Chains A and B, each alone.
Chain A
Amino acid sequence: MAAEPVKISLVSNKPFIWNAEDACIVREKYRIVGALAGCLSRAPRQNIQLGLPLQLLPEEAMLLLQEGYAQLVNSDQNAKLPSPEQVDRFQKMREESFKQQAEIGIAERKLIVQRRLDQIKEGRKAKRKQRLEKKKAKGQEVDEEELRRDEDKLDVEDIQITPMGQEHALVQIFTETPWVEEVDTDVRWDFPSTEEERVRYRVFRDLWRKGHSLTCGGKFGGDFLVYPGDPSRFHSFYIAVCLLHHQTMSAEKVVAMARLGSTVKKTVVLCSVDDDDELTYTSLQWTGIS
């Protein structure tokens, strides 16, 4: 199934996904988790479940790009002065939307009227009766027939419905910019630029290709957290720590990592690219002998 590539755009040099469909696809199909960074439309004032945009790790974005699942979209246009055509399109869209809403509003109103027709009839009858009785009290001539007559001729179409005011119209605050016509993929993104970033990316790609899901591991003092499946269903098994192959480490740092791993019941995996340009993984385990 050749799907449309997911659009990734850069904000402050960080990759973001703005489209809900895209955000779901990368999670469900490509096991890319990212982090939701915006307010959820339904309940914006909480931090438990966030909404779009979806912020990606640079490694996640680069992987999607390299595998051909995504394309990097130039977002410069978003920061520019809107063109008159865009404004024109926006205003037409607004008018169109208002017209539709007005029609829907009238139709809905009619439905309500239809449902309450009996009540309306009763009400009208009561009103007329009141008016006539007032007249009668003043001593004026009143037709008794008129007093008892039912309001039978009333129909939905007879009732006047005031059209919806402009201020009641609903408008959308778009998350993804809808006015961009052409997709401009001419973007430069300098990732990975350092040796550390290259190692991080290689490790990420390798673990992902092995079928794991990865998230950023800052919470546990590593580079990535490695999950056997989707992070919503599983705890992570490994803390991946990316290192340069010839990087020296003090013993205390190794102890600290091993200690952390055993405390949170995860395996610390030291990842690096060796001199033969191959990935090497070393896991740390506390033997528990005391």
Chain B
Amino acid sequence: MPLTDHGYKTKNWRKFFVERREVLQEEKVGRIGALCRGEWKPEERVIELKQTGKFFHHMGYAEGDHLCLYPEEALFLMEVCSLEVYYAGLSLSIQQAYSMFLSESMTLGEYQTYSYLSRLGYIVMRHSGPSSVTAYERQIRLDQHISDISYSKKRKNMDDAGNTASKLSKTEESLNAQSSELCDKIPDQTSDATHNDIPIASTEKTDKLEAGTLPKKSVQHFLPYTMWNFDEINFPDIGRKDLQTHTLQMMPPRKNLLPSGVKINPNSCMVDVHKLHSSGENATGDNDEDDDGDDSHIYTTNNLTYSLMNASVMKAQVKAKNWSEYKAECRKMVTDFRVEQSPVGVLWQGEVTPLVTPDMASCTGNLLEHLQVIENIHQNKKKEKLSVVTGSRKISFDVFKPDSNFKKSQPGLPDHRICVISSSEKPPDLGQLIGLQKQCSDGVPLHWSVVDHGDIAFYKYCYTSLPVDVTMG
């Protein structure tokens, strides 16, 4: 229930609005002597300074005899009332500066992030690429003595790089157009596959398929987010009370996903719900007894019985005089192993085979590794294996903590790096993330500044690796 007008007319209420009006109406005023003057150069998109100010300590750069400021730096200094920018003899208003200074190379979102961090006191600089100083050089403080690369030169090079990047972005656009075409095709495939109720297997398939045809391009970039359509995936409802019959008919697995030698017994697709429920109750009952101190579950693992005698017999047939001979013999047995010898050798005859073969059974970890259809991506390991998208996202800023000893010629390693993203954009995909991480592999946290209509929030992606529980061998 929205409040009517009288709700607004309380005393505190008025006071709030009056105060707000007061502070908003306050204008930005400075003494001429304390203000720096700059001149806007639209061709170079920089602001040339007439004299330096205190801010030159962590802003701007020198090019020849000229002192220059980047648009975002100048705009921020105007907002904090430290700089007057002239253009053709006119002192620019902040409204004019917004219209003139912001462009493709410095978007509104980027500027809002810049000013947000600068207002907090951070030293924010344009991203300068990965540092050439190694971690060890930094550790022994060698980086403080390297002075062969002058700062201005470096910054200028950076600009050139920016220009080429903008040229590149055109070719990128055409690439993106191609990729969107591909994207249009993929959903058809996946939706086809989801009809057949095993979505994981199907996406995996398209993955491999694409990786085969486009080995160098990113796979992740093209792959849309897969959503499972639960209208088309049927889970049997075994908990239904009003079940007429006591058995449920399950869908048989698809033939083309089974090893060729395997036949499905129709009876194995029937589930006796009643039995399932009662056995479940029994099982819980048993567990209760186990808790009383009986370690029967350990006993069961030591005394495995197999329906096929061969399997257990095979293991015993090693003849050796000593341990080293025994080990060599075992190793030989594993390498010489033929699946044909296996009692279930029929499984490996067709095109579709199990993920593991008996000779892989050297330890549990090894088996688990082979069973992992989708490989985990480690941030640091095996990066070169991944297809990486570069250029579609760029790191905008390097952020340093406020420090009076800060030198912009030798800024050292930034404390944070910032990527700017709009709230209406799609979040970056894995390929882009890895691509950005790869650009700067020095452990500086990369933050994502999400700009939502003037609101700014920072987020960070964290990598975690799931532990693998190997209990046996």
Contacts and interface: CB of A to CB of B under 8 A. Distances in A.
Interface stretch (A121-129, A150-158, A172-180, A271-279): A172-180
B418 to A, nearest CB: 15
B32 A166 contact: yes
B161 interface: no
Nearest to B455: A35
Contact of A20 (B21, B87, B121): B21
A51 interface: yes
Contact of A167 (B8, B31, B95): B31
Contacts of A176: 93, 95
Contacts of A216: 452-453, 455
Interface residues of B, dominant DSSP: mixed
A229 B98 CA distance: 32
Given A38-B79, A171-B29, A229 B3 contact: yes
A119 B379 CA distance: 76
Of B227, B452, B453, most buried by chain A (CB within 10 Å of CB) is B453
Which one of B3, B30, B107 has the greatest number of beta carbons of chain A within 10 Å? Answer: B3
Contact of A81 (B78, B87, B121): B87
Contacts of B91: 90, 171, 173-174
B266 interface: no
Contact of B95 (A20, A49, A75, A172): A75
B454 A250 contact: no
Contacts of B136: none
B102 interface: yes
Contact of A42 (B26, B33, B230): B26
A87 B454 contact: no
Most interface-central of A51, A173, A178 (chain B CB within 10 A)? A173
Q: Which of B81, B107, B116 has the most CB of A within 10 A?
A: B81
Interface size bracket, B side: 35 or more
A248 B78 CA distance: 49
Contacts of B32: 166-171
Interface residues of A, number: 70
Interface string B77-116: 0111100100111110111101110100001100010011
Given A21-B25, A44-B80, A230 B8 contact: yes
Given A173-B78, A218-B455, A11 B108 contact: yes
Contact of A173 (B81, B108, B229): B81
B110 to A, nearest CB: 10
Contacts of B8: 229-230
B119 A44 contact: yes
B95 A9 contact: yes
Nearest to B18: A24
A44 B2 contact: no
B450 interface: yes
A52 interface: yes
B315 interface: no
A79 B29 contact: no
B319 to A, nearest CB: 58
Given A20-B25, A44-B80, A14 B108 contact: yes
A174 B94 contact: yes
A12 B423 CA distance: 16
Given A34-B454, A44-B81, A211-B2, A179 B90 contact: yes
A71 interface: no
B41 to A, nearest CB: 12
A170 B27 CA distance: 12
In this complex, the member of B31, B87, B95, B229 whose beta carbon has the largest number of chain A beta carbons within 10 angstroms is B95
Nearest to B101: A79
A15 to B, nearest CB: 10
Interface of B: 1-4, 7-8, 13, 16-17, 20-21, 23-33, 35, 76, 78-81, 84, 87-91, 93-96, 98-100, 102, 107-108, 112, 115-116, 119-121, 227-230, 423, 450, 452-455, 457
Interface of A: 9, 11-12, 14, 16, 18, 20-21, 23-24, 27-28, 34-42, 44-47, 49, 51-53, 55-57, 75-76, 78-79, 81-82, 86-87, 90-91, 166-179, 210-212, 216, 218-219, 228-230, 232-233, 248, 250-251
27 contacts: A18-B95, A27-B17, A34-B454, A37-B454, A38-B115, A39-B119, A41-B27, A46-B119, A57-B453, A75-B95, A75-B99, A78-B100, A82-B87, A87-B88, A167-B32, A171-B30, A172-B29, A174-B28, A174-B91, A175-B28, A218-B423, A218-B452, A219-B457, A228-B3, A229-B7, A233-B16, A251-B230
